[in-house]
Structures are given as C-alpha cells and as structure tokens.
Structure 1
Amino acid sequence: MSGPAGTGKTTALTQFGKTIEAIDRRQHPGVGGRIPVVYVTVPPAATSRMLAVEFARFLGLPVTVRANITDVIEAVCGVLIDARVTVVCVDELHNLSLATRSGAEVSDTLKYFSERIPATFVYAGVDLEAKGLFNGTRGRQIAGRFGVIETVAFPRTEEWTGLVTTLEEALRLHRHRPGTLEGLAHYLHDRTGGMIGSLSHLIRGAALDAILDGTEKITRKSLQNVKLDRAAETRKSKPAS
C-alpha cells in the first residue's frame, strides 16, 4: 500500500491483520501456539540487524548484544514457521532507501524472510514509488513480487459516512447521542479533506476533551475547538478552485 501521509495505510494494515487473526482463531478454536499475523515497522535509518530485531521483539524473543544477524534471523524464521504465520505486515517502508548500502541490505533481508517464511507479505509506506522503491535491480525484484494498492483521501460518499459511523460506534462517552457524528459527515469531510488520519485525530481529540470537561459527548461546537494537523488546516484555508 502506497499513498500520501494520512490516507489510512497503517489503519488498513492493522485492520487487515486483525481480520486475518480473527479468521484464524475461528478456524482453529482452542489451538495454542499459533501466531497467524506479524506486524513490524521499519525503523528510521534501519540496518538489516535492526529489522531482524524488530521481528524478534514482536515475537518476544530475547536478543543479546552479542547475537549476530544470522542468529536472530534463524530464531525468527524458526518460530514463525512453527507458529504457522500466514501474514507478515511491514509498515513504514518509506524508511527504507535502496540508494544506501544499509537500505539495500534491509531489502535483501525482507526478501530472505519472504523466501523462508510461507506467508503473505504486505508492505505499507508513504509514496513508495516516488521514494525510489522500485528503482534498480532490487527495486525491480520488489516490483515483480508485489501489486500496489494506491491509497487516497476518501471522497464524500456513503463509504465516508460509513467510516464516520464506525468511529462513532467505538466511542464510550456516557452522554453522547448516537448518530450525531453521522449527521456531521459532510462537515467532518470539509474539516479533514477526507483524510482518515485527520478524521481519527479530530474525533479522538474531541472525545478526550469531552472526558476532561465532563460533558461526555461530542458536538459540532466541540469539534470546532479541536485543532487539526498542519496538513489538514492548510487544506482548509485554501480557497476552493
């Protein structure tokens, strides 16, 4: 998945992982020792060892300072194969730069994991093609192994209203009137430009304010008091073309 920041890549990735895990639990009730989904992020300026340690950390595997990358990778692969992993989610892939030696090594490590582990790998990052992820020999290998899903801002459609409704149903405010946010779907789209990251920030901020001031509900007025991220505020201030 690739697209501008705030278009819901991480949200989609984590929800996909949760769905796969729920399906696996239904298919294998009461079976322990399974890890159907792995979720890791590529650290900034990552090295191959740092990435391998991220996998180990997710699995709860102890990694000593003296452990070399081969030891870590072998331990990770062994556990994931035994745990019947089916999906590996790798987020923040834009932190990987194929133009650097360490970035190229990280790419090779991910390729090695995908060859050793019988699972579907899902990558997500900001504007990956513009970052040069598909350039050069390694880039062509990545392009030949993956399809790209472009993420964009939500249009003002029923899907947007459904997203707002889903977020509203997750609220646990004692005095909030159900359907309030659904009725403000167009206003919320104007405020956020259809960006799921900005929408989540707006509703979460209003919910926190409602808890702190004791009102325990979200209204249009309380939403107006929440300051959004710089990108959303900039979009709002631009005149319509």
Structure 2
Amino acid sequence: MISGGGYLGKTETACAAAAAFEDVWRDLHRQLLPPPVEGTRDLFVPVAYCRTPVRATPKGLCTAVLDYFGAPHPKTLNGMIRAVRDSLRDHRTTALLLDDITRLRLHREDDQDTLDLIRELMDLNVTLVLVGVDIPSSGLIRGGYPDPRTGQLIIPPVRSGKSFNPTAATQTERRFDLVDLDPFDYDTTEGMTAFLDHLAGIEDRLRLFRSWAGMLTDGEMPEYLYDRTRGIVGLLKRLIEDGCADAIESGAEQLTPEQLATIPIRLGNLADRDPDAGEVPEIPKDVSPPQTPKKPSRGRNKAFDDQGTPPAADA
C-alpha cells in the first residue's frame, strides 16, 4: 500500500517503479520467448494499472481491469470475474496497480464487496499495489496491526456485509507493506536538503533565457516556494509551470518571488478526482513574497551649502 496526501506524487512514484520492474522483466522474458496466447491483444503485460471507480462496485472494478487489457465484458458478474482472472493469467501479469483505493467506503455494501474482490485477486499469482490518500485513516485497514517481527501490517478479513465471495469470511490474514509518502519537510536539515535538491533538479530542466544558476535554490526563493506549496510536489509543479508560461509570455524569461506572487495555483481539471477521498489538497492562501529590506539612504553632506547672507546684527 502506498499512502499519502493529495498531489504528493504517489501515482507517479508507483508507476515509475513499476516501469523499471517491467523493463527488467521484459528483458528476462525475451530470453524465454513465452508462447503466444490466441485471442489476447498483447502477449506479455507484466504490469497492469487501473483506477478505482468513484462509486465502486465489483462490476465497475472488473470493467476497469478488462478495459486496460481491451478484453470483452461478460454480462454476468461471475463471468466478469472469470474474465479478469483469465486476462491476468493470459497476459502473464505480475503486478496489478489499483489507484485511488480510498474511494472505497466500507459503510456501503457495494464497497465491501469490491474490497472482497480485491482480496480474492490476491489468490492469483499477482502482486497488488494499492495506492490511495491517507489509507490508515480510510478504514480499509481497520483492525490491522503491525507485526512486531517484520513491521508489516496484518489485515484480518472483512466479516460484515453480504458478498458474492462466499469464502471472504474464512480467508487467512493478509499482509501489506505500508509506504507513507509525506510532503517535503522544511523544519529539519535533512528535509531542507531534500527540498533544495528537488528544486535544483527542476532548475536544471528549465529553459528560460534569463535564468541563472540558483534561481530556485538561492536567497528567499526556496522558503517562498515552500510557503506557497507546503512542500507538496503537485502544487509546486503547477506553480512553476504556470510561472514559466507567464515568464515566456511577458518576456521576463526568469522566475522571481514577486512574479510568482501574481500567479494563483490552479489544479486544472478536477472532474476525475474525488474531493471526499482527500484527492484534492488545500491550497495555502495569503502568502506574500519576501520583502527585501531597503538600505537606509545616506544623508547629504551640507558643509559647503550656501546658507545666504547673514543678518547685519550677526555680521
């Protein structure tokens, strides 16, 4: 399980790791030359990815998995489950990524049935990677407890609600590794170093004509960027992208705190995100750019000023 707040890069991190795994696995299978399977769109799919529907049902989850493989949809639920099993087996899928898993609400019977289906998929020769926002607080691992020997979470089966899976109540305990992704931390030396390294990586890839070394990492800029985004990678990406677009259009060709202060953080199209599941983060407001203190002006020397003709009494 990969957990964290919204816009923290959980999906990108999981997909990048899965892509690296797929490259290694494909290189290995090119040597083995697995035989083709009639009726499949692609012979070998080591990694499959799909998103949990906003209103989750077993049929909806099966549809998402079958759409990824381009497989037909049987009319009955049992037929769809069988088609999912066949697709995973025929394509030799080793890892199945289920994103937005915290859209499941266990107070609804359909969602409990969907979770039972996910548990049933564990019986296949496939590793499940569940990605969601704040999984420990979502109720998906309620009753779970850490194993003192391994540190893994032990998850007991769901024992309430009706399910198409009659063995759900008798399943053995399931174990998960919980990976928690947090925003960048600006309160410790390690956190500040990691944030500056991330800014340096972004700065190396910017192609603004008037940029300079340290444009994002020197002076007040790192602290300002952290205050604007609270260390959330997705918000930082949006702000810098919009800032670069504005710098190109205006001809400034550089990023400054004063210029970024005029740009609101827009999250783009939120139609495919569920705010109730925590997928939309809160955007910090009322963040002013750092004020550069003005140097005190030096007084003018008046020693040689003409004071005029003194009065006669003083002459």
Report if the CA contact (8 A) 1:161-1:185 is conserved: yes
Report if the CA contact (8 A) 2:208-2:254 is conserved: no
C-alpha distance in 1, partners of 2:263/2:121? 43
Q: What's 1:147 paired with?
A: 177
RMSD of aligned Cα (Å): 3.1
> Shift of residue 73 of structure 1?
2.4
Q: What's 1:228 paired with?
A: 265
Please say if 1:59 is aligned against 2:69: yes
C-alpha distance in 1, partners of 2:228/2:127? 37
C-alpha distance in 1, partners of 2:211/2:30? 37
Give the 3-state SS of the residue equivalent to 1:34 in structure 2.
coil
C-alpha distance in 2, partners of 1:55/1:164? 37
> Shift of residue 28 of structure 1?
4.2
Q: For 1:34, which of 37, 40, 44 is the aligned residue?
A: 44
Give the 3-state SS of the residue equivalent to 2:181 in structure 1.
coil
Q: What's 2:255 paired with?
A: 219
Q: What's 2:11 paired with?
A: 10
Deviations 1:10-32 (A, max 9, x none): 23222222222233344445977
**Shift in CA distance, 208/105, structure 1 to aligned 2, threshold 3 Å:** farther
Deviations 1:140-178 (A, max 9, x none): 23884212122221113322223233444555x463636
Report if the CA contact (8 A) 1:133-1:139 is conserved: no
TM-score (norm 2): 0.63
Q: Which has the higher contact order (CA 8 A, sep 6+)?
A: 1
Report if the CA contact (8 A) 1:42-1:90 is conserved: yes
Please say if 1:126 is aligned against 2:177: no
**Shift in CA distance, 25/159, structure 1 to aligned 2, threshold 3 Å:** farther
C-alpha distance in 2, partners of 1:62/1:133? 30
C-alpha distance in 1, partners of 2:252/2:95? 39
Q: What residue identity is the alignment partner of 1:2?
A: S
User: Structure 2: any 5+ residue segments left out of the alignment?
Assistant: 34-41, 145-153, 159-172, 187-191, 267-280, 289-315
C-alpha distance in 2, partners of 1:79/1:15? 23
Report if the CA contact (8 A) 2:211-2:255 is conserved: no
Report if the CA contact (8 A) 2:230-2:284 is conserved: no
> Shift of residue 108 of structure 1?
1.0
Report if the CA contact (8 A) 1:87-1:122 is conserved: yes
Report if the CA contact (8 A) 1:2-1:125 is conserved: yes
Q: What's 1:159 paired with?
A: 194
**Shift in CA distance, 60/207, structure 1 to aligned 2, threshold 3 Å:** farther
Q: What residue identity is the alignment partner of 2:261?
A: Q
Q: What's 2:273 paired with?
A: none
> Shift of residue 120 of structure 1?
1.7
C-alpha distance in 2, partners of 1:112/1:72? 13
Report if the CA contact (8 A) 1:210-1:218 is conserved: yes
Q: What's 1:20 paired with?
A: 21
- Identity, % of aligned pairs? 25
Give the 3-state SS of the residue equivalent to 1:187 in structure 2.
helix
Q: What's 2:211 paired with?
A: 177
Please say if 1:88 is aligned against 2:96: yes
Give the 3-state SS of the residue equivalent to 1:90 in structure 2.
strand
User: Structure 1: any 5+ residue segments left out of the alignment?
Assistant: none
Q: What's 1:113 paired with?
A: 121
**Shift in CA distance, 228/214, structure 1 to aligned 2, threshold 3 Å:** closer
> Shift of residue 49 of structure 1?
0.3
C-alpha distance in 2, partners of 1:21/1:89? 13
Give the 3-state SS of the residue equivalent to 1:150 in structure 2.
strand
C-alpha distance in 2, partners of 1:119/1:178? 48
Compare the two structures and name the one with the higher helix fraction.
1
C-alpha distance in 1, partners of 2:243/2:93? 38
TM-score (norm 1): 0.80
**Shift in CA distance, 144/236, structure 1 to aligned 2, threshold 3 Å:** farther
Give the 3-state SS of the residue equivalent to 2:49 in structure 1.
strand
Deviations 1:113-159 (A, max 9, x none): 2212x122111111222221123699623884212122221113322
